[in-house]
Amino acid sequence: MVDDDPAKRSRAGGDQSPDKGLAQYSASELQQIRDEFTSGKMPLCPRCSVAMSRREIGGGSFGLGYARQRDWLICGKCRRSAIFDVHRGTRT
């Protein structure tokens, strides 16, 4: 008996999608998102090609000496996300 339920195949490691079921973006995908965002464009999700939405994360951490300003970019389709420190240009 063969089970053709795609949800069960995915859980069993049989998912053959291009991202191989990985939940996080790869380093090259994060770099692509960062490059698009810092050039002033709203980036597209490297996995879905859907425009990502932006949420600002404000506030500071006590003892850092500066208030962090971070941007959280979220794909509305696959729900993956990336957070960047705006001033430092780094992933946090």
Q: In this predicted structure, what is the pLDDT of residue 75?
A: 96
* pLDDT tens column, 22-61: 789 999 999 999 999 989 999 999 999 999 999 988 766 6
Q: In this predicted structure, what is the pLDDT of residue 13?
A: 44
Domain residue extents for the chain: 24-91
* pLDDT tens column, 73-91: 999 999 999 998 866 555 5
Q: Which residue has the higher pLDDT, 40 or 14?
A: 40
Q: In this predicted structure, what is the pLDDT of residue 56?
A: 86
pTM of the predicted protein model: 0.64
Alpha carbons 22 and 84: distance in angstroms, whole number: 20
Q: In this predicted structure, what is the pLDDT of residue 18?
A: 52
Position 14 pLDDT exceeds 70: no
